Structure 1
Amino acid sequence: MSVATALRGTPYPYRANSLNLFRLILAALVLVAHAFYIAGRGEGPHLHGENLGGWAVAGFFVLSGFLITRSRLRTPPGEYLLHRIARIFPGFVVCLVVTAFVFAPVAALIEHGTLAGFLSTPLTPLQYIWGNITLYIDHYSIGTTLQSVPYPGAWNGSLWTLFYEFCCYVLVWLLGGLAVFRRSPWLAGVAFVLSLMVWIGVEFAQRWGLDESFFLLAKLAPFFLGGAFVFFIVERAGINAWVAIGALAVALALIFLVPRWGGQAAAPFLAYGLLWLSSVIPQPRWIARNDVSYGFYIYAWPVQQLVVLVAGASMFFPLYILITVVLTFALAYLSWILVERRAMRWVRPAAVPGAAAGAARDAQRS
């Protein structure tokens, strides 16, 4: 067998992959990472100052960059934006409302035994919803709830990433309007390299007065754009097992051996490797039909806080994690069938058949 034959790729199986499962695993890793903080068990596993959840978010972003770029090139500009809004905002807004008017009152009753002043004590439930409704998370607390837990006052420490993911959606929307971006991988590659250079030099930008929001976008954008770049490679050359194994080896070497920017530099290699794994590792049929990863991600933190309120912090730690996984999974499924899937059907009924499997594989989040 020649080298050329051995390295020949096969088309990526867009409708027969396990990306739903991979995203759910990444969301579960975020839950596990946050469990250490929320239950008062220290900081948990770290690498180069980043916890397990941060690395899982990186995995989310590289896969999202791949899928969202495909979505951009397959749909008109207005339709693309409508799809992205429908995928992110309905579930997000419902999560804010449920947190403010279901979870927080329960917490108030557990902590104080009364709801007196709940609706009027800043930050009020309505202030919490309105202050966060743009995806940019300004408020984490609601009134005097969550004051007796190891991680006080924070109702959802996971939602902040959604703003930066949507910023990346807009960036790809703009790039997708350029003919050169649609025809060739080179502009996507240049965009990735530039974003990596911005991240490497971000400390200089901060000296010029740019705030934390710029720092966080600079940190996450290379992961997303690395996935976007790999989309063009996979579309043209397919995916190859030997190349994928090599890409995973390079990604791990960069992540482990290069502090601070090694993970960002590894983004294209990580994307290629994860895509190959998702094409050879099967997923349960139920997971293929139901993409609960987004709901799992947005509901995990408040569920963890509520379980801590009812003595979760004193539980056997693996049992605490198991209980929060089960409860979060149940809420994620409800979010999927009652909110997310319906929202997608409203904006693209032909693309979301009964089980919504097509939409779950074609340009979803997270």
Structure 2
Amino acid sequence: MYITENDLLRKNNNFGALRHLATLTVFISHTYGISGIGYEPLGLLTGNRYVLSAFGLNLFFCMSGFLVCHSLITSPSIKQYLLNRFLRIWPAYAVNVLFCILFIGIPFTTLPVLDFLSNPQTRFFLLKNISLIGSTFTLPGVINNEAINSSAWTIPVEFRLYFVLLLMYLVFKLRFNQMMLLLLITLWLAQLVIPVSWQHAAFKPHVLYSINLGLHFLTGACFYLYKDSIPLKLSIWFILFACWLAIHIWLPAYWARTEQPFWTYTIMWMAFRWYRVPFMKTDISYGVYLYAIPIQLIILLTIGQSFSFPVFLLFSLVCTVALALLSWYLIEKKALSLKMFFKNKQPAKAL
């Protein structure tokens, strides 16, 4: 009924399957845009209230909040926590940035190769992205300065949330649980009561979306902190579902600002109470997320214009999975092995 530490073992939950499901939804959603078809069927069906990529990102950030909070609480030191997060995010992401320069930038730029490599915009693309300070998506002379890997914008957002979590822990260590819950409730109420017009006047759309993803992250983190007090019951899920449905019907202006509790509870139910879905140990979800758009652009710029949408979707998925497997075995898995190397040199006492 309650989530236990035993449930957090990889073999006892569905987080692996859910990560790959989230990646697949983002992949399919972005394929509609890249191929030029436009909005996906789910967006058209729901009046653009929901798109598959939004489902996938909400799923990613909610699970990330839960698991990263677990990592923070159980890490032997702050240094180990930061190292774990860095090794999971940065190595594969840095290689992806180089991949975009080498395999999209150089082959498809209208500039001479040396001019392209020495261009300040190329240096800016490299340094800003690998620093995780922010994101930039264009390279000089490439596809009329259109974005070449727009999905990567969420990586720096998630990385900043790791530090938000750590800062809350360092400042409010003795009351970490309570202050995290207070922060979540405060932010949730603020975006609920502040008129949407004011929010759009104060922040750019991508900032507002980052805040929304941050709320999903914090909701997942609080779910971990209070996992001993939140029962996973079907009756509770039905109550939350009824509230979510009622808001959609009678208060449509508030649906996007009140859905975090329902989706978080649903995700945790799927992770811990659904039938255990056997899934491979190889985790290619991050690699697929990083390489999907670059691979699809390469295909479109070379041989993809003559493909029908189903063929393009399937062919680009196969190519992306192949590259994601290389990313996992050559980069991510090796980077993650360093976590255990450094962990063995740390005291066993947890934070």
TM-score, normalising length: structure 2: 0.83
**Equivalent residues of 1:19, 1:278 under 8 A apart:** yes
CA distance in 2, matches of 1:100, 1:282: 41
Q: Distance in 2 between matches of 1:88 and 1:240?
A: 34
Gaps of 5+ in 1: 1-7, 353-366
The residue number in structure 2 matching 1:282 is: 276
Q: CA deviation at 1:136?
A: 4.1
Tell me the amino acid that sits aligned with residue 332 of structure 1: A
8 Å CA contact 1:180, 1:187 repeated in 2: no
> 1: CA distance between counterparts of 2:292 and 2:149?
8
- 1:235 matched to 2:228? The reply is yes
Choose from 8, 24, 39 the match for 1:14.
8
CA drift of 1:157 comes to 0.7
Which residue is equivalent to 1:72? 72
Q: Quick one: distance in 1 between partners of 2:136 and 2:97?
A: 11
Aligned-partner Cα distance in 2 for 1:351–1:248: 42
Give the residue type in structure 2 aligned to 1:130.
L
CA contact (8 A) 1:11 1:239 kept: no
Contact 1:251/1:263 (CA < 8 Å) preserved in 2? no
CA deviation profile, 1:262-315 (whole Å, cap 9, x unmatched): 3442223312221221232333342xx122111111111111111211342442
Aligned to 1:27, the other structure's residue is in SS state helix
Q: Deviations over 1:35-82 (max 9, x none)?
A: 111111012232555532123211111111111111111123222122
- Report the CA distance shift for 1:314/1:113 in structure 2 as closer, same or farther (over 3 A): farther
Pairing 1:167-316 to 2, within 5 Å after superposition = 167-177=160-170, 178-182=172-176, 184=177, 186-200=178-192, 201=194, 203-204=197-198, 207=201, 214-248=207-241, 250-251=243-244, 254=247, 259=252, 261-279=254-272, 280-286=274-280, 289-316=281-308
AA aligned opposite 1:123: Q
Structure 1 pair 143–264 and aligned structure 2 pair: CA distance change class (3 A): same
RMSD of aligned residue pairs (Cα, Å): 2.9
- 1:103 matched to 2:95? The reply is no
Q: Which amino acid aligns with 2:93?
A: F
The whole-number CA distance in structure 2 between the counterparts of 1:297 and 1:92 is 10
Q: Is the 8 A contact 2:244 2:259 kept in 1?
A: yes
Moved more, 245-254 or 341-350: 245-254
Contact 2:80 2:342 in 1 (8 A): no
Shifted more, 289-298 versus 38-47: the winner is 38-47
Cα distance, 1:255 vs structure 2: 6.4
Distance 1:254 1:198, change over 3 A: same
Aligned equivalents of 2:311, 2:265: Cα separation in 1: 35
Instruction: After TM superposition, give the deviation of residue 340 of structure 1 in Å.
Output: 1.5
8 Å contact from structure 1 (residues 227, 268) kept in 2 = no
| Amino acid in structure 2 at the alignment position of 1:293 | S
Distance in 1 of aligned mates of 2:121 and 2:235: 54
Distance change >3 Å, CA 29–CA 113, structure 1 → 2: same
Q: Distance in 2 between matches of 1:256 and 1:17?
A: 33
Counterparts in 2 of 1:71 and 1:143: CA distance versus 1, 3 Å: same
Partner in structure 2 of residue 37 of structure 1: 33
Distance 1:145-1:40 versus aligned 2 partners, 3 A rule: same
* Larger mean Cα displacement after TM superposition, 242-251 or 23-32: 242-251
1:132 aligns with 129
- In the alignment, residue 217 of structure 1 is paired with which amino acid? S
Q: Tell me, yes or no, if the aligned pair for 1:30 and 1:52 is still in contact at 8 Å.
A: yes
Preserved contact between residue 17 and residue 279 of structure 2 (Cα < 8 Å): no
After superposition, the Cα gap between the structure-2 partners of 1:275 and 1:138, relative to the gap in structure 1 and judged at 3 Å, is: closer
Structure 2 unmatched runs, 5+ = 345-351
Number of equivalences: 332
C-alpha displacement at 1:234, in angstroms? 2.0
* Deviation string, structure 1 residues 137-188 (Cα, Å, up to 9, x no partner): 44312222224xxxx6211010111122122211111222323444x4x433
Question: Following the alignment from structure 1 to structure 2, what is the Cα–Cα distance between the partners of residues 95 and 115?
Answer: 20
What SS does the corresponding residue of 1:160 show, helix, strand or coil? helix
Residue type of the alignment partner of 2:27: L
Q: Which has the higher helix share?
A: 2
